[in-house]
Amino acid sequence: MEKINAVITGVGGYVPDYILTNDEISKMVDTNDEWIMTRIGVKERHILNEEGLGSSYMARKAAKQLMKKTGANPDDIDLVVVATTTPDYHFPSTASILCDKLGLKNAFAFDLQAACSGFLYLMETAANFIRSGRYKKIIIVGADKMSSMVNYTDRATCPIFGDGAAAFMVEPTTEDYGIMDSILRTDGKGLPFLHMKAGGSVCPPSYFTVDNKMHYLHQEGRTVFKYAVSNMSDVSAAIAEKNGLTKDNINWIVPHQANVRIIEAVAHRMEVPMDKVLVNIEHYGNTSAATLPLCIWDYEDKLKKGDNIIFTAFGAGFTWGAVYVKWGYDGKKES
C-alpha cells in the first residue's frame, strides 16, 4: 500500500480593514514609533473593531477565500479545526460556527488551543487525520482577535498584537510532498509569565475581576522573550538536523511573528540569511495562531513546488515546536 502524505493544497487569509498605527498608539500610552520599531518591529496592526464580530468572522472570510481558490465543494469537507485563543464564546466552538457559516454538511469540527503555537499543532493534527486514510479534505484555520484581550493602557503589550485569520486546505497525496515531520513540545512552566488571570473556571468573572483589569492578557516580556529565542532556535535546529536540512537546502523559514528580534535570533542560529525568512510582523503585529498561515498567504507567490520550509512558533504554556513542510505547488499571484 502506498504511503499517504498530507499536503497543503491552498491558502486563504483575511485581515480587518481598520489599521492601528504606531502614531495612534503613542496617543494612548507613553511610547513612539521608533521605540516600537526598534524593540518589537511592528509599524501597524489590523483591528476588527466592528461591534459584534469575533474570531469566527475572520475565520469565515479566510476559509471562504480558501475554498474559492481551491474550488472545494462544501459537501466534500470532512473536518474543520480552528486554532484560537480568542474564541467567539466559551462554547460552542468557533469551528462549529464556521461550519454553519460555510454551509458544510458533512464535516465535524473542533477548536484547538495552544496559544501562539496553535497553527503548528493544527498542521500535525490535520496530517494525522489524513494519514489515517479516512479523511480527504481538511480545513485548518488560525484565527485570533487579540484586540479583544489587549489592555490599551499597557505600554508593554498593546503595541504587539493585531487581529487576523488564515486557512490551509490539507489533502492526501502519494507524492513525496507535504507535512513531512514535526517536533512539538509543551512544558507548563509558562503559566506565571503569560496568561489571562480571570474568566476561566479558577477565577470566574465578577465585578472584582473586571474592576481590577483581570480579563486582559498579562505578559512578563523579558522572560517570554528569553524562552522564545532559545526554544524556537533549538527546535528549528533539531528538526533541520533530523531531516538532513542545512542552510543550503532550506528554502524558507516561517517563524511566529511575535518580535522581530526573536525572528532574527532564530535565523542567526540556523545560519540562514534573512532573505530566506518570511517576515510580515511590520504590517500585522502578533496575530497569535494566525501568524504562520498569514505569512504563507502573504508570500504564496514566492513558493515553489518542492521548497523545504520550516515553520516554528512559541506560545503561552509554554508551547513550542517546528514543522517541516515540503511545499506542494507553485504559488502564483492572484489574477
Out of 116, 158, 231, 308, pick the active-site residue: 116
Which distant-in-sequence residues (6+ apart) come within 8 Å of 238 by Cβ?
183, 322
Residue among 12, 20, 19 at smallest CA distance from 59: 12
Percentages helix, strand, coil for the chain (3-state, rounded to 5) are 35, 25, 40
From the list 99, 286, 295, 308, the catalytic residue is 286
286 assigned to active site: yes
Say if residues 325 and 8 touch (Cβ distance below 8 Å): yes
User: Which residues in 248-284 are b (16+ Cβ under 10 Å) and which e?
Assistant: eebbbbbbbbbbbebbbbbbeebebeeeebbbebebb
> How far is Cα 175 from Cα 257, in angstroms, rounded to an integer?
31
Active site residue 116: yes
In single-letter form, the type of residue at position 122 comes to L
106 is a catalytic site residue? no
Phi, psi of 271 (to 5 degrees): 60, 30
Instruction: Find the catalytic residue in 22, 99, 256, 308.
Output: 256
Which residues are identified as catalytic?
A: 116, 256, 286
